[in-house]
Amino acid sequence: MSLLERVYASAPTDQILIPTLEIAVPGRDPIRVVADFEDLEATTEDGETVTFRAGPFDYREPSRDTSGLQNLGFAIANASGEAQGAVEAALEAGSEVPIIFREYIHTDLTAPAKRPYKMSLRGGSFEGVMVQVDAGYFDLLNHQWPRLRYTADFAPGLRYI
Identify which has the larger pLDDT, 149 or 50.
50
Quote the pLDDT of residue 37: 86
| Cβ pair 101, 59 in contact under 8 A | yes
Contact residues for 47 (Cβ-Cβ < 8 A; gap 6+): none
| Exposure string over 104-140, b if 16+ CB within 10 A, otherwise e | bbeeeeebbbeebbebebbebeeeeeebbbbbbeeee
Strand pairing category for 49-54 and 31-34: parallel
Read off the pTM. Answer: 0.74
Query: What phi, psi does 114 have (nearest 5°)?
Result: -140, 170
What pLDDT is recorded for position 140? 64
Q: Into how many domains does the chain fold?
A: 1
Mean pLDDT of the chain: 79
Domain of residue 58: give its range: 3-160
Q: Give the containing element (helix H, strand E) for 85.
A: helix 81-93
CA distance 83 to 89: 10
Stated length of the chain: 161
Q: How far apart are CA 156 and CA 23, in angstroms?
A: 43
36 pLDDT exceeds 70? yes
Task: Give me the pLDDT at residue 30, please.
Answer: 85
Rounded Cα distance between 121 and 20, Å, is 16
Q: Per residue in 104-154, pLDDT tens?
A: 988 888 889 888 988 888 877 777 777 787 888 766 666 777 778 888 888
